[in-house]
Structure 1
């Protein structure tokens, strides 16, 4: 088992790029992880990392060991987890990344059913609007859109959300309903600033026959969060370009109304990401099946598709 502990410290250090990050994953001190790696180097007679005060980089020997040992070690960990399971039932801590508003609105309500089915699983859910790094962060899965696929990650599409135009009935009560995207120029807009570029987001809308038109409005306020935009629109402060997951609850209860119902803008698919392993841990496998089933049976995919 000592050799497994040493290789575990090495693999987590290789994945995260630092002794400190590996230590946080393993519940050890950075000094202990560094010592384990040093002992492994001594046993192998090979230097695995170049160390400096600022940076830790793998040597060619370290890269070769990671490539050869990473997959088999993950499979061995999974085998241990299954052998130690409660009567074979899925168990353990399940680390999942998701966006704040989306997770709160759509995933937290599923927790009760999930825990009733799998009482030995402990959800460790991380709410962050930044894309999760599955490998470096040690996540079992993540749900989001537009996450860059890296080696060792599988993507499974859950739904195809769109951006639509919405406003409160009170705001539109004394205004002419737009018939074409060009008519939006007469209305006050709650527009979005991109958190990545810092620029105000411009939208090109498309209708069902493939026509496209630039959608422009009078900029009344600028937000960088679609949930805040939806709440401002419900206060009657203007129209908003909203992703359907953020708009759907308010469209369904009547606090928002959809403008230009024949027009939408495409978004990246909503996707479930998980590590590419030959033998997934049971906790991850049942979570994947549960989420896919929830989107299918709960018709979430249909709610988000405004095309």
Structure 2
């Protein structure tokens, strides 16, 4: 009979394609994970991984074995986690990666109440625009957009990332309002260049009726930071395309106006990502439930929707 540690080392190594990444997730050394997998291979009499300097690749037998045992392992560990969670309060270091602007404005203000409810939890927050590798980076959870749902990673959608065209009333005064995204070329735009190509992204906008149209902007000012773009728009320097969640207060106060009220760009959802929904430490489960509950109670998905 194979031990749970051998099977767990194999499954997590297969998900991460790395003994080192699996070791970080399992709180073991890479050597221990490698030994567990090697022992499993000896006991089964088959090679499960092809090992190279570039990482791990499952053999044909390894693919079949992962398919056979992966779900069962999660079920067993889920039962263990459920018992453990009920046995004690959430505790330990909670390592999180969050998108900077969204994290500062929407997530960080929730944390005093979260820490007051769970005094045994210590927060380790990283603010980064790049999607984090949860398994390789050893993160318990991450919040942002554009994450790849790799094996072992699940997501809870928090709010939509709808982008809208905005401008200060002082800039719009005396100017003809555009009727369609194509008309935006008649106005000065505050734009951001692509870090890869150096070009300005062509916005693909849609309206409430499902019609789509490209928006060709006429940049007058280039800025590489969304917060600074918002500040420039507030100063009346031109139109800007920004996520509703980042400008909703300005829209509600009237400091900014939507230039095309019926049009927006859907940049996908902002979600909370974490590993294996069936197996979560109590601290991670508490965080997931707390944040999703707070967003739901405040109706933020509706508030940040452009529709």
Q: TM-score, normalised by structure 2?
A: 0.79
How far apart, in 2, do the equivalents of 1:134 and 1:195 lie?
24
- Name the structure 2 match of 1:69: 69
User: Are residue 269 (structure 1) and residue 250 (structure 2) matched?
Assistant: no
- Name the structure 2 match of 1:58: 58
- Name the structure 2 match of 1:257: 257
The verdict on how the C-alpha distance between 1:188 and 1:198 changes in structure 2, with shifts beyond 3 A counting, is: same
- Name the structure 2 match of 1:191: 191
- Name the structure 1 match of 2:104: 104
Partner SS for 1:46: coil
Partner SS for 1:57: strand
- Name the structure 1 match of 2:201: 201
Q: Using the TM superposition, give the Cα deviation of residue 256 of structure 1 relative to its aligned residue in structure 2, in angstroms.
A: 3.3
Q: Using the TM superposition, give the Cα deviation of residue 247 of structure 1 relative to its aligned residue in structure 2, in angstroms.
A: 1.6
Q: Using the TM superposition, give the Cα deviation of residue 85 of structure 1 relative to its aligned residue in structure 2, in angstroms.
A: 4.8
The verdict on how the C-alpha distance between 1:6 and 1:196 changes in structure 2, with shifts beyond 3 A counting, is: farther
User: Are residue 176 (structure 1) and residue 175 (structure 2) matched?
Assistant: yes
- Name the structure 2 match of 1:128: 128
How far apart, in 2, do the equivalents of 1:212 and 1:42 lie?
58
User: Are residue 226 (structure 1) and residue 226 (structure 2) matched?
Assistant: yes
Deviation string 1:106-157 (CA, Å, 9 cap, x unpaired) is: 1111111122223334444443323344555555444333444455554443
- Name the structure 2 match of 1:286: 286
How far apart, in 2, do the equivalents of 1:205 and 1:42 lie?
57
Deviation string 1:76-122 (CA, Å, 9 cap, x unpaired) is: 44444454458433344444443222112111111111222233344
Bigger Cα displacement from structure 2, 150-159 vs 295-304 = 150-159
How far apart, in 2, do the equivalents of 1:62 and 1:119 lie?
43
How far apart, in 2, do the equivalents of 1:191 and 1:220 lie?
8
How far apart, in 2, do the equivalents of 1:137 and 1:66 lie?
23
Contact 1:226 1:243 in 2 (8 A): no
Contact 1:93 1:123 in 2 (8 A): yes
Partner SS for 2:268: coil
The verdict on how the C-alpha distance between 1:57 and 1:154 changes in structure 2, with shifts beyond 3 A counting, is: closer
How well do the aligned residues superpose, as a CA RMSD in angstroms? 3.4
Q: Using the TM superposition, give the Cα deviation of residue 240 of structure 1 relative to its aligned residue in structure 2, in angstroms.
A: 0.7
Unmatched segments (≥5 aa) in structure 1: none
The verdict on how the C-alpha distance between 1:49 and 1:108 changes in structure 2, with shifts beyond 3 A counting, is: same
How far apart, in 1, do the equivalents of 2:12 and 2:219 lie?
48
Partner SS for 1:268: strand
Q: Using the TM superposition, give the Cα deviation of residue 199 of structure 1 relative to its aligned residue in structure 2, in angstroms.
A: 4.2
